[in-house]
Structure 1
Amino acid sequence: MDTSEFKEEDEKGIDVPFLDLQSILNATDNFSDANKLGQGGYGPVYKGKFLGDQEIAVKRLSRASGQGLQEFKNEVVLIAKLQHRNLVRLKGYCIKGEEKILLYEYMPNKSLDFFIFDHTKSIFLNWEMRFNIILGIARGLLYLHQDSRLRIIHRDLKTSNILLDEEMNPKISDFGLARIVGGKETESNTNTVVGTYGYMSPEYALDGTFSVKSDMFSFGVVLLEIISGKKNTGFYQSQQTFSLISYECAAWRLWTKNEALELMDMTLDESCNKNQFIKCVNVGLLCVQEDPVDRPTMSNVLTMLDSEIAISPTPKQPAFLLRRGNNSSTASSSTKSETFAEITTSLEEGRQLKNGLGLQLLVSLFILLSELLSLHV
């Protein structure tokens, strides 16, 4: 696919410049390892210096990433039209032969997961900073869902897609999977489910149905990860045995016992505003409820988080999302498979599974089986 074909189809809708490949090679020293910032599901990201010493983050999409020309177009055309302080800003793009490159504003503090899942780095994120990050993500999503001229469903919100600027302000990134829905349209369907295990809503994973409430589910998972410092995308390990229960289920159990403070990242012990913490747990659990109708909108979330007098509803038991595999290391050993892999169970299998057994019954069976196996051992 050459540059001219892409530009002929989409140049009119793009408000950012096209950059030639040679200028990008010069800025990144030919994609040298010394300039590599990290490795995402779609490929490596490099730091580049352009004229005037302007620093830019250069995302080079790998051939094996799964993101084709259509996803690339989607991200370029879409993000160029979005302007919000909590969304990463696209600075340019390049397509040349098999090279597909996106240029973003440089985020010196990398991504949110770089801090919260590292015991040594998480101490730099006190409670005030984490609460402000939560509010910033919420405002960015509110813009996507309601305030922008387009209604955008992100479909892949997660901590690694939240970048942090020099003042630790959050910016939502990676719009390759995002979808535009009509002004009054609230949901849509897809035949191919892609995204990240642990952050997907059950209706999307099983039926291919996505909506703003799918993003709300992902936001709830991210919120719980931020305040607990624990990653949801693995298997939850109890003291007794491994259970195929997602982390938000453990959070809900502590909530029902009035022990929600036990979820707190231990590095927050001194800085934490406990009233805000409890409020965040409540909101997070409201967002991960199984029925999309029960989940709040982002405007509701901001009201609950920002207001001292707003009363939050009581959350119902959260959704269970199961994935195949026998341990967490298998599922997370490949960045690509964890980040952008398609669900291994087909949508039709998922619909039959949901209609025949129900998510709760299925989980109960898995728990019983795991307990029986542990007793046998």
Structure 2
Amino acid sequence: MNDKTTWVTWNLPLNTVVTLMADDKPVPIGSTAADLSHCDECIDLIGTGRTEAVDLREVGMNDKVSSFFWRTVDLKMGAIEVFEHEAFKGNRNIIFLSEWQPATLYNFNHWWLNDKISSLRWQSLLDRQTAVLFDNGDGSGDNLIILKGMEYNRNDKLTSFTWEPLTPVKEVVAPFQITASNPAGSNGLEEVYHGVNNTSLPQPVTVTLNKTEAQQVTTSTTDTFATGISTTITYQSATGIKDVSFTSVTAAVTVSFSYTRTQNITRSDTKTLALTITQTMNAPPMTKFTAKLLVSMGRIPPTEYHTTAERWYNIPVTGSVMDPSNDNLFKRVEPVTVTIEGSLASSTHLVIETTPL
């Protein structure tokens, strides 16, 4: 089939991309596999989970395919399609942003489409990212700033590109609550307090359990623009109230994200949490007593939690409003989804056993 292919059909998993090439060249040292230098005409076949097809005569590759490579890409990061001819026709390449580092200038100097790009579109870009294409390989000359949902015809000039995520100047993520299930037979912790009430009146008895490494929780995000995540968990259970012997435990979660690009991108945060639980009950008069505070530990299976974030940007984005109270930045409320799993205290039970004096 070398140099004899006219029609291609494929059915690839989502996020899988096969690139057909007219020439076979090794990837330059220090470059990405997505660099199509010296590969002559190429075309990308994108996995959608459905059967797709392309007529190679329409993309300038009839009887030219001699090699291919495949990889997985993050389609959520968006892509830019570049075409040889106007009206999105002729040979085409796709720049998947997940394969190229942000804030870095790349050029098409040795791509077949160099100085041949006449139209482009970027319908899959989000409004939290921007890209710039330049006439010259060094980033000089006229440039084209592209944003979400636009298309453009430009005659045979584009030679280099760069892209950057649009990060918020300020962000406030609304806290949310979580609880751990307490399946039968689950492990628990216990604190015991012995005492005597030799008065004629009931006396309050307070028991505190304090464990430094009793719980572990992992929070993760699929936000492709975040480079880090941090989690704070605080308890909101009804502890320290007289005559309450059983209490279900609820925790409040506060999440924050970082967006600074570094070599190490971490989209999960594992916390080992200390556990301090305090409860109070009354010991009957004239008794010797043993108070036992039982804390049940529950599991949180991998579970998605949904909240919102108020984010402020220095340029207008879809649905944003200017906020005079924050230096006229553009504010927008956005959905946030995180996945949490691990172990937490799920309930407490205070029991008092008494013996008359």
Q: Which has the higher strand share?
A: 2
TM-score > 0.5 by shorter chain = no
Of structures 1 and 2, the larger Rg is shown by 2
Which TM-score bucket, shorter chain as reference?
A: under 0.3
TM-score by length of 2: 0.25
